[in-house]
Amino acid sequence: MPYVNIRVAGTLNKQQKEEICSGVTDVIARVANKPKDTILIFIDEDQHENISKGGKLLQKPS
């Protein structure tokens, strides 16, 4: 059973999550030859202030 964890800075709306999950599922099913109903995807939404790049905390987009 394929397991995918996607982490994003900030939040996504439901439509964005559905599109991401659909696309990722299609690619894994095609490339890895796995049944779509066995692919699990988890989306973690993290606050910008909890992520650092280059030693500096990310800034929330305006």
What value does the mean pLDDT of the chain take?
Answer: 96
pTM of the model: 0.85
Phi and psi at 48, nearest 5°, equal -55, -40
Confidence class of residue 25 from pLDDT cuts 50, 70 and 90?
Answer: very high
Taking the domains of the chain in order of start, what are their residue ranges?
3-51
Whole-number Å distance between alpha carbons of 14 and 6: 15
Question: Looking at per-residue confidence, does 44 or 62 come out higher?
Answer: 44
Q: In this structure, are residues 62 and 30 in contact, taking their beta carbons and an 8 Å threshold? A: no
The CATH class, in words, for 3-51 is alpha beta
